[in-house]
Amino acid sequence: MARVLHNLLLFLMRLALKIRVLGYWSLIYGYCALCTIVALLKLWWNIILRPTTTFQWVTRETPPACLNDTSLGTHCYVRIKESGLRFHYVAAGERGKPLMLFLHGFPEFWFSWRYQLREFKSEFRVVAVDMRGYGESDLPLSTESYRFEFLVTDVKDIVEYLGYNRCCLVGHDWGGTIAWLFAINYPEMVTKLIVLNSPHPSVFTDYALRHPSQLLKSSHFFFFQLPRFPELMLSINDFKALKALFTSRSTGIGRKGRWLTAEDLEAYMYALSQPGALTGALNYYRNVFSSLPLSQNHVMSPVLLLWGERDAFMEQEMAEACRLYIRNHFRLNIISGASHWLQQDQPDIVNTLIWTFLKEGEGRKSYRN
């Protein structure tokens, strides 16, 4: 009798798991279909309003002068032997100083860290990377090439190529997600972790599934699962959607901080208008659902989490919940009036808070190899 009950319990547990998995993927594909319908309606409306310009966009041939500003650092390249990929990065500060490595988000590139490159080069070897699929770094064609394990290994390989065995790691948005994962998998390589507007991946998964409001704000995760169509929607009307992402009143930079200049915006258009650039950026999203939940969660490094109060994409409640997964000092700063694009929107405040965090505890000398 006991054996029968045991087998029945195992069967019910497996059935419950299968139902949960089925419900999970049904939610994803159902929401993808809904987002597709909405996008098709937007496309049709655009065609009605702008029949001659909807399908026109321009590939920028010449980089704007701000991308060659020598005060930001030196443009460098590294080819990683294991993956065969070439990565572009901008570096400043003396070689041999502690390494501060910056990882950008979507849809950005190294330039999003321009204010921090200038600020921290006095004390650190600062390096802002174009992550795989972005900017001047190589763009793998396969969606599978953007799985979490490959993105995390990229960071490890770059740190080691630069001649370091540890770093102060700074990430925003998708770069923040990869920074969390790197700190989880290689705790010995992260002296301090600084994340901007990006929750711990497990916090995001748990919270989004329980809060429809966050699921709605994350609708782009589902829409971007589609092949090719998201690239089209981001390109029409000469990348109007991308421009609005950075400049609109609801989502853009500068609602209570620094405005994005016309030249700054053109820098983004130059990077994102190149052939294949949007596909590389969107491929990060196209692997996210198969990579969650995580098998490991705990972060052993000291963590600074900076959060823009007016983030249009991430609800603030997730920030405090990150504390559950951190087994070291955790500092959370909510910046009033700041947008999702925190390091560009409020660079002076962000830089001051980072300096304060770096001076805590071990002090700056702890970053040296």
Residues with a catalytic annotation lie at: 173, 285, 340
Is the Cβ–Cβ distance between 133 and 280 less than 8 Å?
yes
Half-sphere exposure of 164 (CA within 13 A, CB side): 27
Q: Report how far residue 45's alpha carbon sits from residue 51's, in angstroms, rounded to the nearest whole number.
A: 10
CA atoms 310, 313, 318, 323: torsion sign: negative
From the list 229, 222, 178, the residue with the least C-alpha distance to 200 is: 178
Residue 312 exposed, middle or buried by CB count within 10 Å (0-12, 13-18, 19+):
middle
According to DSSP, residue 178 is labeled H
Spell out the residues 6+ positions from residue 213 whose beta carbon is closer than 8 angstroms to its own: 315
Compute the C-alpha angle 90/163/153, nearest 5°: 75
Read off the amino acid at residue 365: K
